[in-house]
Amino acid sequence: MKMTAPQRKEGFSEKRKEREERRELREKTRKEKELSDWIPKTETGKLVKEGKIENYNQLLSRNLPVLEPEIIDFLIPNLQEKVIEIRKGRIHTFVGGIDYYLIKREELHQNETDKKLIINEEENVSKKKQKRIEAENRQAKYQATKDVISKISELEKEIELLERREKHLEQTLADQETYNNPNKATELNTEFIKVKKELSDCLIGWENLNEELSNIESQFS
């Protein structure tokens, strides 16, 4: 089943939390092993490893040199290191050593990537939703206007035929031969009046249908 954007975001958060917990455990285990395997090379280091110096104050009081980093780790196991990063004009503080900083930088990069994925997914969903709405509107508009458009199309064909007939009658009535035949002239004139009336009615109907179509289309704009 496809995950939604919020579910995906929650999944990313859980994974980041799991990675952080694993990292802290690995870091703790690594330091413990390093201190356990530590073989001091200086007198101060040997005194610390043998337990003859138990805290940092004793180290200071005896004014002993500290030449091995393991001495500090041994005496102050919970000592925190900080890495300060200046990036794009902003200051970021990372509580931990350089290894922790590099891990956090990778996590931040991954977070940014995850956010972009979520944003892109939400945008894609929004675009798909918009396209679906537009398609539904087009279909609804088509259903609402198809009958009116069909009537307009049929009426335009009828208007075209009437206009041609009207023009032909005008030309025939203006012909000298028609003037010389009163019966024929009367018959053609009657038809001409009828055609003009039908054409006028059709044009009114065409205008009414187009107004109706415009009103319907305005509901979908």
Average pLDDT over residues 90-119: 74
Query: Is residue 111 included in any domain, yes or no?
Result: yes
Q: Do residue 122 and residue 183 come from a single domain?
A: no
Give the domain range for residue 70. Answer: 5-130
Helix residue ranges per DSSP H, 38-97: 43-49, 56-61, 69-75
Residue that finishes a domain, picked among 70, 103, 130: 130
Label residue 193 by pLDDT band (50, 70, 90): very high
Are 155 and 209 in contact by the 8 Å Cβ rule? The answer is yes
Q: Do residue 166 and residue 85 come from a single domain?
A: no
**pLDDT score, position 119:** 78
Query: Is residue 136 included in any domain, yes or no?
Result: no
pLDDT reading at 114 higher than 90: no
Label residue 203 by pLDDT band (50, 70, 90): very high
Report how far residue 202's alpha carbon sits from residue 179's, in angstroms, rounded to the nearest whole number: 30
Q: Do residue 113 and residue 197 come from a single domain?
A: no
19: Cα separation from own chain's centroid: 28
Quote the pTM value. 0.45
| Residue 82 Ramachandran class (φ > 0 left, ψ -120 to 50 alpha, else beta) | beta
Q: Do residue 152 and residue 113 come from a single domain?
A: no
Total count of domains within the chain? 2
Q: Do residue 177 and residue 109 come from a single domain?
A: no
